[in-house]
Amino acid sequence: MGRTIRKYLKSETAGVHARLDERLGALVADGTGNYAAFLAIQYRARKGIERWLEQHCSAACPPPQTGLIARDLAELGHPLPSATPDFTPPDGARTLGVCWVLAGSALGNRAVLARMTKQPTPRPVAFLSDPRMGDYWRNMLPVLERPATENERSSLLGGAIAAFAHFNAVAAESLALEAA
């Protein structure tokens, strides 16, 4: 029996996943301004993916998160980002790969939330504390724990890599604009 879908996607996306974690992790380590930048990146990237999923996800889609991010940004006194780039994965990319990336982010969000609760300045955390994505992740596990067939690997990976690449591109662009 081959690797499970979950293990396959995890091993094949490790590099792009680590790059994204480094970029976003630095933003939530301190300062409210950095947290707002983190939320703005999340909003910009997720908005495009959520639009794409609305059109292409026929099965159970992850719960939308951009409304919660908008609420957190408003509580911080920050406007919504005006530009939200489209998400365009390669032809044949499976929505399951994209959904795996979004659902897996719930695990990272829980870690960020735990770190933030130890900081002296309280911040709005509707996005980070939303239980729906964690529930979605748990509901995906039976599908993710089945073996990844040879026929589906490239389309699953195409969706996951495209989602990570989209997040990384949005993060790089946003951070470059802030640095300028």
Q: Give me the domain span that covers residue 121.
A: 5-179
Take residue 109 and report the two structure tokens written for it. Answer: 């969000």
Per-residue confidence (pLDDT) for residue 82, from 0 to 100: 84
The total of structural domains in the chain comes to: 1
Query: Which residues contact residue 128 at a Cβ distance below 8 angstroms, ignoring those fewer than 6 apart?
Result: 109, 110, 112, 113, 116
Mean pLDDT of each 10-residue bin along the chain, 180 residues long: 88 95 82 83 96 86 96 95 90 90 91 83 92 94 92 92 96 79
pTM, entire model: 0.93
* C-beta neighbour count of 101 within 10 angstroms: 23
Per-residue confidence (pLDDT) for residue 30, from 0 to 100: 63
CATH number, domain of 91, equals 1.20.910.10
